[in-house]
Amino acid sequence: MLEVGQALATTRLLTLTGVGGSGKTRLALEVARGLLEAYPNGVWLVELAPLSEEVLVPKAVAEALKVPERPAEPLFDTLADVLRDRQLLLVLDNCEHLLEATALLVDLLLDSCPGVRILATSREALGVEGEARRPVPPLSAPEPQGTTSSEDSSSSEGLEGYESVRLFVERAGGRDPAFSLGPENAVAVAEICRTLEGIPLAIELAAARVGTLSIEQISERLEGSLELLTRGGRTAVLRHRTLKGALEWSHNLLSESEKKLFRRLSVFAGEWTLEASEAVGAGGDVEEGEVLNLLSGLVEKSLVMARGGDPGDARYRLLEPVRQYAWEKLEESDEAEEARRRHAEFFLGLAEETETEMRGPEQAAWLDRLEADHDNLRSALSWALERGGPELGLRLAEAFWWFWEARGYFDEGRRWLEQALAKGSRASSARAKALDGVGHLALELGDVDRAVAAAEEGLKLRTQLELEASVAASLLRLMGITAEIRGDYERATQLSRESLALGREAEDKLTVVWSLINLGRVSSDQGDHERATQFYEEGLALCRELGYTTPLPNFLSALACEFLLQGDQERATTVNSEATALVRKQGANLGGHSRIPGTLERLGWA
């Protein structure tokens, strides 16, 4: 509130923007109340929400200021004349549906009346020259359990630091004087505020059910449902009686094309990009080239949140209560299945593109991109496996497995792949890739038997299909690793050499890299450290040549071990220091397991 007051002191027009129910009006009124003594001619509130015609805007202002109309004189001119020498603050509340008329009047008053300042609330800026815009963010809310920042959310004392919790407790206490925040209800209160993402109106409406429902019941029923929030105080404005009502108010003001894009965006989970918006939002009479302008309009109207700079780099999201409302609208239309399919196909394309880019120097950046879209990947998979068709589900799952392995999502990835394999076709390239993925992830989980079974089934498909050389090579390499684990070094060597030969034949250098590290490890296991060093050095050189950053620390770390075993501590220290630096830069889990402890341990040995 203090910051808004300070901002208003430096500009004559300040617009508070935010989604319906975000607390714009409340904040504006609190700021105005604190400035009553600062304006000799007073602070005046003009409520524009009840108006439906643009022509009524100057009339509402005149009525609030008690300025009578003059015969044969436009009301705009009368207001400008009467207010010319006054020093006052005009609060224009809910301008979004009358933007043109409001902007015209504001521009006139600012130009004609130097003592007038204006504080407006709207879903989007007025667009008047000299306007300062201040978004009203949701209240701070607890993070989901399990995240680092949620550690202070397990106690009532920790929860009191969140604005949304304080608002809920205050309003709940007004409904039930016996209510207080304590250990018995802390988790449920935190979940309520997190689910409602700090939207004040939603939190107040949820708190209004305290006394009728237990805190735990409110928390449980909020999941996936807006219907609980059906009653507000008797003095509440009609459109604020329910969260749905506030959103309905905003939705009705959209153009038909904006409504279509808005409801289609509800298929996204978490954040998404402009590119994703275009893929999912276009269709029917919404052209792909229109999506940017429509999306920007939704951001301006505070229905979509944007984070980042230029549209091409920005990430967008819907606050969860808003997304639920938009999803209801999508389900009411006949577009839900098509939107989900477009969503799934977009992220399938992204995964396949990233798989290709993983063979270049930007591996870590592309993994980060998929990490940012992980919730969308999960959502797409869930829909595809349930309703999108077995082949789409299988293709999605097999396209992601290397991401799950690289980022350590072993168990989750395996479960997705097993589900897809259970529903997918019996003989296809996608099935072979999915089996390869299941095998590698099972191996990471210590399930060697499943890894062997998956690799054997995948290799049998070579007799029925023309598998890509990289897939066949990966399956052979997987078999080689399982043979190594079981102590069959001869077979491990044979399989790894077959994998290497396939990679060289197909000029698949990433396959060559991973086959070399397998051969080096098997050689080292058998005590042939000179041969192991040769394999590692060849792979290391290839990584440096091609910019393969993901396997590079593996080769450096393996070489450090070989140099230590050969008594060359100086070289061991040099390469292991580089490995440690790379692991720190890439992130401890890039490559499928936490590698920092191992590299540091070897550094200590050296």
Q: Express as a percent the part of the chain with pLDDT over 70.
A: 90
DSSP 8-state assignment for residue 12: S
- Asked whether the predicted pLDDT for residue 229 surpasses 70, the reply is no
Rounded to a whole number of angstroms, the CA Rg of the chain reads 31
Tell me the CA distances in angstroms from 47 to 74, 80, 88, one per residue in order: 21, 19, 17
Residue spans of the domains in the chain: they are 2-135, 148-244, 253-333
Fold match, 2-135 / 253-333: no
Q: What is the mean pLDDT of the chain?
A: 86
pLDDT score, position 604: 46
153-183 burial code (b ≥16 CB/10 A, e <16): beebebbeebbbbbbbbebbeeeeeebebee
**What's the rounded mean pLDDT across residues 321-325?**
85
Q: Is 348 helix (H, G, I), strand (E, B) or coil?
A: helix
Kindly indicate the confidence band of residue 202, based on its pLDDT and cuts at 50, 70 and 90: confident
Q: For 2-135, CATH number?
A: 3.40.50.300
pLDDT by residue (tens digit) across 274-312?
A: 999 999 999 888 999 999 999 999 988 878 889 886 666
CA distance 328 to 55: 34
Burial of 446 (0-12, 13-18, 19+ CB in 10 A): exposed
Do 235 and 245 touch, CB atoms closer than 8 A?
Answer: no
Mapping DSSP to helix (H, G, I), strand (E, B) and coil, where does residue 273 land? strand
Determine the average pLDDT of the residues in 353-373. 80
Those residues with Cβ within 8 angstroms of residue 422's Cβ, 6 or more apart along the chain or in another chain: none
Q: How large is the average pLDDT for residues 323-327?
A: 90
pLDDT band at 234 (very low <50, low <70, confident <90, very high): very low
Residue with tokens 């940012």: 372
Distance CA 126, CA 20 (A): 16
130 versus 587: the higher-pLDDT residue is 130
- Asked if residue 541 lies in contact with residue 574, where contact means CB atoms within 8 angstroms, the answer is no
Residue type, 31: V
Q: What are phi and psi of 534, to 5 degrees?
A: -65, -45
Please list, in sequence order, all residues whose beta carbon lies within 8 angstroms of the beta carbon of residue 172, skipping any fewer than 6 positions away. 179, 207, 210, 215
Q: What does the alpha-carbon distance between residue 425 and residue 391 come to, in Å, rounded to a whole number?
A: 7
Is the separation of the CB atoms in 213 and 192 below 8 Å?
no
pLDDT tens per residue across span 452-479: 999 999 999 988 888 888 899 999 999 9
Strand 272-273 to strand 315-317: parallel, antiparallel, or no bridges (unpaired)?
antiparallel
Residue 407: the pLDDT is 83
CA end-to-end span of the chain: 58
More confident residue, 52 or 530: 530
Q: Distance between CA 170 and CA 504 in Å, rounded?
A: 69
Q: What band does 152 get if pLDDT is binned at 50, 70 and 90?
A: low
- The conformation of residue 45, written as its DSSP 8-state character, comes to E
Q: Which two tokens stand for residue 90?
A: 């005009």
Residue with tokens 């936490």: 594
Q: Give the pLDDT of residue 409.
A: 84
Q: What is the pLDDT of residue 224?
A: 54
Q: Where is 171: in which H helix or E strand?
A: helix 163-175
Which pLDDT band holds residue 581 (cuts at 50, 70, 90)? confident
With 0-12 CB in 10 A as exposed, 13-18 as middle and 19+ as buried, what is 463?
exposed
153: helix, strand or coil:
helix
Answer whether 215's CB lies under 8 Å from 192's CB.
yes
Residue 176 is given by DSSP the state: -
DSSP 394-455: HHHHHHHHHHHHHHT-HHHHHHHHHHHHHHS-SS-HHHHHHHHHHHHHHHHTT-HHHHHHHH
Q: What is the arithmetic mean of pLDDT over 227-256?
A: 63
The pLDDT assigned to 241 comes to 47
Q: Which residues of 545-580 are buried (b: 16+ CB within 10 A; e: fewer)?
A: eeebbbbbbbbbbbbbbbbbeeeeeeebbbbbbbbb
Does the domain at 253-333 match CATH 1.10.10.10? Answer given as: yes
203-215 burial, b for 16+ CB within 10 Å, e for fewer?
Answer: bbbbbbbbeeeeb
Spell out where 40-131 has E strands. Answer: 43-47, 88-93, 116-122
Q: Which 3-state string (H, E, C) describes 210-230? A: ECCECHHHHHHHHCCCCCCCC
As a whole number of angstroms, the distance between CA 280 and CA 342 comes to 5
Nearest to 14 by CA among 26, 62, 3: 3
Q: In what order do the strands lie in the sheet with 315-317?
A: 272-273, 315-317, 305-307
Cα 181 to Cα 204: distance, rounded to the nearest angstrom? 16
Cα separation, 205 vs 57, in Å, equals: 30
Identify the weakest region by mean pLDDT among 265-274, 348-357, 389-398. Answer: 348-357
Q: Is the pLDDT of residue 333 over 90?
A: yes
